[in-house]
């Protein structure tokens, strides 16, 4: 699989990354074999960026059990900040983040991760500074190689401009393009590696099923303007192709608990990209026309 350098970190990451919330919440320990199959088949297929978090249920434990023996084959990212899983402290304190990182290392069965990210704390917490100090202390101690921020809108902008972070994980997809306008240029100029979350827009494009959502509403408004010229028939291919068409995006993380879905995503990225520049431009134009007041989904 093609890789791209993650900003100034020097880490080479697969264009398709694996998000591990779904594995942690929906498989848990009683379906460890299925989780192990997804993780190992992802590595076998060339995915080398694994993104988890302390608050993703049993995700970190499953990663440790399934692929700790293959640690040198992947870039490992986790997130910290929330008081979770019975932890007695408060969220967003130095002690909570320090303890969370130590717990993550134990669960992941490793002595360091490649990236620890603050997990979507708000602007006020970032400005207060303790959470950043906790991450930088962990980096100094060798518990993580790099530090990042995961979040959106004003807090993401502050994180980019602060100079403290090596990476930014933020929402970016065909119905949520605000990062293209507000974040990407400055992040690239400062050397931050960009990780796209929600890259397939929660499968909202071309999917009228399920409960109404912000993304479905936006997709409907954009689709009402007519067919997308040059677009592939597969809406997942269209969504992934759009997200990965932007050169700022080093990797796009897609979560799944289903090995077949993971393999299908790999096939799309390896054999069916890029999508046409005409389709990308049309989606950008429609967003720019309609998106007055459309903020990133948080």
Q: Is the pLDDT of residue 104 over 90?
A: yes
Output the pLDDT for position 212.
72
Peptide bond into 274 cis (omega under 30): yes
Q: Is the pLDDT of residue 210 over 90?
A: no
Q: If you count them, how many residues does the chain have?
A: 298
> Helix or strand or coil: residue 54?
coil
> If you average pLDDT over every residue of the chain, what do you get?
96
Residue reference for tokens 């591990």: 20
CA distance 142 to 134: 13
H helices then E strands: how many in the chain?
Answer: 13, 10
**Percent of the chain scoring above 70 in pLDDT:** 99
- Report field, pTM of the whole predicted structure over 0.95: yes
Q: Identify whether the C-beta of residue 46 lies closer than 8 Å to the C-beta of residue 73.
A: no
Q: Which CATH class is domain 3-202+238-273?
A: alpha beta
**CB contact burial 20-38 (16+ within 10 A = b; e otherwise):** bbbbbeebeeeeeebbbbb
Q: What is the pLDDT of residues 274-295, one digit of tens each?
A: 999 999 999 999 999 999 999 9
Q: Identify whether the C-beta of residue 115 lies closer than 8 Å to the C-beta of residue 167.
A: yes
Quickly count: other Cβ atoms within 10 Å of residue 87's Cβ.
Answer: 16
Quickly count: other Cβ atoms within 10 Å of residue 69's Cβ.
Answer: 10
Q: What is the pLDDT of residues 239-262, one digit of tens each?
A: 999 999 999 999 999 999 999 999
Over residues 87-111, the mean pLDDT reads 97
**Percent of the chain scoring above 90 in pLDDT:** 96
Over residues 73-99, the mean pLDDT reads 95
Q: What is the pLDDT of residues 8-34, one digit of tens each?
A: 999 999 999 999 999 999 997 889 999
CB half-sphere exposure, 19, CA atoms < 13 A: 21
């Amino acid at each position: 699989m093609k890789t791209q350098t993650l900003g100034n970190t020097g880490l080479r990451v697969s264009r398709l990354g694996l998000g591990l919330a779904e594995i942690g919440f929906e498989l848990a320990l009683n379906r460890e074999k299925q989780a192990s199959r997804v993780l190992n088949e992802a590595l076998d297929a060339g995915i080398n960026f694994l993104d988890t978090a302390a608050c993703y249920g049993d995700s970190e434990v499953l990663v440790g059990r399934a692929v700790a023996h293959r640690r040198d084959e992947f870039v490992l990212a986790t997130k910290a900040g929330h008081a979770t899983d019975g932890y007695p402290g408060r969220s967003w304190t130095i002690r909570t983040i320090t303890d969370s990182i130590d717990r993550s290392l134990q669960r992941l069965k490793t002595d360091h991760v490649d990236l620890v990210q603050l997990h979507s704390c708000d602007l006020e917490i970032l400005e207060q500074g303790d959470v950043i100090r906790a991450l930088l202390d962990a980096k100094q101690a060798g518990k993580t190689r790099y530090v990042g921020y995961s979040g959106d809108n004003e807090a993401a902008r502050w994180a980019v401009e602060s100079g403290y972070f090596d990476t930014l994980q933020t929402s970016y997809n065909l119905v949520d393009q605000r990062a293209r306008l507000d974040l990407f240029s400055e992040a690239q100029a400062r050397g931050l590696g960009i990780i796209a979350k929600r890259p397939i827009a929660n499968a909202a494009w071309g999917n009228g099923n399920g409960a109404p959502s912000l993304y479905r509403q936006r997709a409907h408004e954009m689709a009402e303007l007519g067919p997308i010229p040059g677009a592939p028939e597969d809406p997942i291919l269209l969504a992934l192709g759009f997200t990965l068409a932007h050169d700022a995006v080093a990797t796009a993380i897609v979560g799944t608990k289903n090995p077949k879905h993971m393999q299908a995503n790999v096939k799309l990225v390896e054999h069916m990209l890029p999508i046409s520049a005409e389709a990308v431009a049309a989606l950008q134009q429609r967003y720019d026309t309609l998106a007055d007041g459309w903020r990133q989904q948080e």
